[in-house]
Structure 1
Amino acid sequence: MKKLLFKVLVSSLIISTASFADDFKPNGNLSLTQTFYGNAGKYKTATSHPSAVLNYNFTKEWSLSLQWDRTWNIYDYKDDGENQQDNDFSGPKATVSYNHGVLGDSKIKWTSSLMVENENEFTDTSQTYVLAQTSFDFSEYIPKGEYISANQFALSPMYIYGWETEGSSGHVNTGILSLLTNWQLPANFTFTFNAYAFKEWYNGSFDLNGENGKSYDDASYFMILAWLEYSKELYKFNDQTSLAFNFAGGFDPYISSNRKAAWDPFIVGNQMYEWLGPAVDEGNYKKTYSVFALPQLEVTYNYTEDLTFTAFAQVKYSNQVWGETEKDWKLQPQGGVSVDYKF
């Protein structure tokens, strides 16, 4: 009887494996992007931002993403003066994601992920963060209208733990409840609206430095990221080469807190549309925002079905300075090249 059960089990596994092999083939892509930044009015900015991203789907449910961002020649400003920091920034991170499928008999799509990122400014200090996230997407329950439909409508709890891995000692705990949405609009427009309510608890070097010598070991926040996106092919030169116009614009981000302090929570940089923030970032705020518009011209050359080269030129128009009373709007030219390989 045991031998019969063993044979049945082995046969089932073989059949299941063969079926899985027919249905799924591991796949992924590797992309390399080099972005250059011009000056924003009188403000000098980071001059170079290379980025490398590797995505790999090794089963139907499991995927891995590796990303590495780098900058050189970052400037900051205090009292209208120019100070080149003369340091670099490196931000490697790895994310493992799991697709649970639907929740029970419902139409709720359930996914989870775990991310680890190190931030190193090469000034004898660095921080490491771990972000655990799960997401419940209710978009299938939202009726699709003639002019608008939901691509995503998810509730997503998050937890972040960060600590000093070099230099000072300290750590931070962050609990977050977020609403993540994306909407399909007419004429090739999409709209993203994400809202985050979170609280952070600080220790040691992570304590917030407020005005008049005050410091805080906890803070509560509310953050909104909202942007409109548009993409349209302008001209097709041949079967391999095309010119497109892309646009993104909106809040990146709006954030408020119960503390008046100089702060930049990890989740802000992690969720922003543009990886590189405003050129000027100083002061003690309870409310702050960055509003931007980013039109882009993009030339794409498909060398093969798997290998694509891209060159882009864009200009960012934004307030450049964080703070509810700042209105220093500037244009910043940007451009770059990228290569993407699918496997």
Structure 2
Amino acid sequence: MKKSMLLVGAFLAVAAMAQAKEVVPAPVVVEEAPVQIVEKEVIVYRDKEEGFRPNGYVDLQYRYYGDTEGNGTNYSSKPADNRADGWNTNNNYSRIQFQGNINMTEKQNLEWRIRGYNSLDENDKSNPTAKDNGTETRLRYFYDHGYLGDSKVDLTSRVHYQNNADDAYQNVEYQARFDFADYMFNNDMFKTDYFVVAPKVGYTWSDDNSSDYSNQVGFDVYTWHTLPWGFSTEFNLYFTQNFYGQDQAFNNGNDMEDKNFTIDMEFYIYNTTNLYTNGNFSLDFGFEGGYDPYTWSQEKKFGSADGDNLGTDDSKYSLYALPYLQANYAVTENMTVYAAAGAEYRDWTVDNGHSASNWRWQPTAWAGFKTTF
């Protein structure tokens, strides 16, 4: 019995020692799976750059000209060969004008203006002041060559064609137009829109293709400035040396010359002031006026309207003012209809430099539409 107790005690002692001994776990080996990199195609969607689209505008207008203030009051008392009483000789007529501009490419531009004149008194033989019927056509093609080298001078070529309604002549002209606007003064109050110097060559011929023609060389200056409060100004100069196919009469017929040098000056002031706006409707007060044009001639070619001292003056000018009210309605984002009425004040007939006189009012009204594309 005692021996058994000793065996049990020894066993318990060994068990206790085994429990007290630290158990160290065997290391576990973990195999890592290989990392696979899969490249996928990434598609980036971008807005396609819109290419050039032809753009421009079209304007169709009907205009009425009434009887000039006091016109014709002296016709019945004057002899038939001296009826020009200093008033306007173009009265009570209409004009349909179709004009537009299209940018055909980023560098090419075509501009057109066609005017059809129609007398509303053509059957009234008692008043010889009715406007004759006729059509005037003007076409202009522009090509922008871009800036000259590293400068800010933009060069544009212009080809011009015109067939007037009141004479039997046609004209074609080429200009190299250098725009120096980026070198001109500009600030928040005064902006130079363009300042163009344009050497030119031209040719004018009669409709019957006779020797009654002329060649022209010279240069023009064109400027436009935008001012505050709706004002803008236009100032142009035209320097032209004419070479005639036939000798021309000057100085009341006493001089015959085959060439002549002229300078024309145009100066205009424009203003548009909004009076009322409601939605798509607006009412504006407009004004334009100035020299249209002032002309100086090396040879004496201007005279009074009644035939006295004809061709004994070397200058003439037409000075006018045209205030008007214009209503506009935007039918769509790209189309506007308009109507206007006003009166033009001008020295209509006696316009030679030393005796310009007889400024008179002529009422006028017009309506039309303009659409852009």
TM-score by length of 2: 0.73
1:332 equivalent to 2:373? Answer no
Which of 304, 314, 318 lines up with 2:342 in the alignment? 314
Q: Deviations over 1:179-204 (max 9, x none)?
A: 21111222221111112221111113
Residue 219 of structure 1 corresponds to which residue in structure 2?
260
Which of 352, 359, 362 lines up with 1:323 in the alignment? 352
Aligned partners of 1:214, 1:107: CA distance in 2, in Å?
Answer: 47
Residue 128 of structure 2 corresponds to which residue in structure 1?
83
For residue 329 of structure 1, what is the amino acid of its counterpart? W
Residue 105 of structure 1 corresponds to which residue in structure 2?
150
Residue 195 of structure 1 corresponds to which residue in structure 2?
237
CA shift at 1:71, angstroms? 1.4
Aligned partners of 1:185, 1:90: CA distance in 2, in Å?
Answer: 35
The 8 Å contact of residues 38 and 45 in structure 1, kept in 2 or not, is answered as no
Classify 1:327/1:58 alpha carbon distance in 2 versus 1 (closer, same or farther; 3 Å): same
SS of the aligned residue for 1:140 comes to helix
RMSD of Structure 2 on Structure 1 (CA): 2.7
The 8 Å contact of residues 287 and 323 in structure 2, kept in 1 or not, is answered as yes
The 8 Å contact of residues 302 and 316 in structure 2, kept in 1 or not, is answered as no
Gaps of 5+ in 2: 1-47, 72-86
Q: Deviations over 1:186-233 (max 9, x none)?
A: 2221111112221111113x8345403533221111121011111121
Q: Deviations over 1:290-319 (max 9, x none)?
A: 111111211111111122111011211112
For residue 100 of structure 1, what is the amino acid of its counterpart? H
Aligned partners of 1:107, 1:133: CA distance in 2, in Å?
Answer: 19
For 1:161-200, what aligned pairs fall within 5 Å after superposition?
A: 161-166=203-208, 168-200=210-242
For 1:1-343, what aligned pairs fall within 5 Å after superposition?
A: 22-41=50-69, 42=71, 43=87, 45-46=90-91, 47-73=93-119, 83-84=128-129, 87-121=132-166, 126-166=168-208, 168-204=210-246, 207-208=248-249, 210-237=251-278, 239-262=279-302, 283-284=310-311, 285-320=313-348, 321-324=350-353, 325-343=355-373
Specify the structure having the higher radius of gyration (Cα).
Answer: 2
For residue 287 of structure 2, what is the amino acid of its counterpart? F
Classify 1:305/1:145 alpha carbon distance in 2 versus 1 (closer, same or farther; 3 Å): closer
The 8 Å contact of residues 113 and 139 in structure 2, kept in 1 or not, is answered as yes
CA shift at 1:330, angstroms? 0.7
| Paired residue total | 299
CA shift at 1:126, angstroms? 2.9
Q: Deviations over 1:64-106 (max 9, x none)?
A: 122211212399xxxxx96347742211232211112211111
For residue 185 of structure 2, what is the amino acid of its counterpart? P
Aligned partners of 1:87, 1:38: CA distance in 2, in Å?
Answer: 14
Aligned partners of 1:93, 1:326: CA distance in 2, in Å?
Answer: 29
Classify 1:208/1:102 alpha carbon distance in 2 versus 1 (closer, same or farther; 3 Å): farther
The 8 Å contact of residues 74 and 84 in structure 1, kept in 2 or not, is answered as no
Classify 1:84/1:327 alpha carbon distance in 2 versus 1 (closer, same or farther; 3 Å): closer
Classify 1:170/1:200 alpha carbon distance in 2 versus 1 (closer, same or farther; 3 Å): same
For residue 255 of structure 1, what is the amino acid of its counterpart? T
Classify 1:240/1:262 alpha carbon distance in 2 versus 1 (closer, same or farther; 3 Å): same
Aligned partners of 2:90, 2:130: CA distance in 1, in Å?
Answer: 11
TM-score by length of 1: 0.79
Q: Which moved more, 1:224-233 or 1:87-96?
A: 87-96
Residue 13 of structure 1 corresponds to which residue in structure 2?
none
Aligned partners of 1:214, 1:73: CA distance in 2, in Å?
Answer: 37
Q: Percent identity?
A: 26
CA shift at 1:146, angstroms? 4.7
Gaps of 5+ in 1: 1-18, 76-80, 264-279
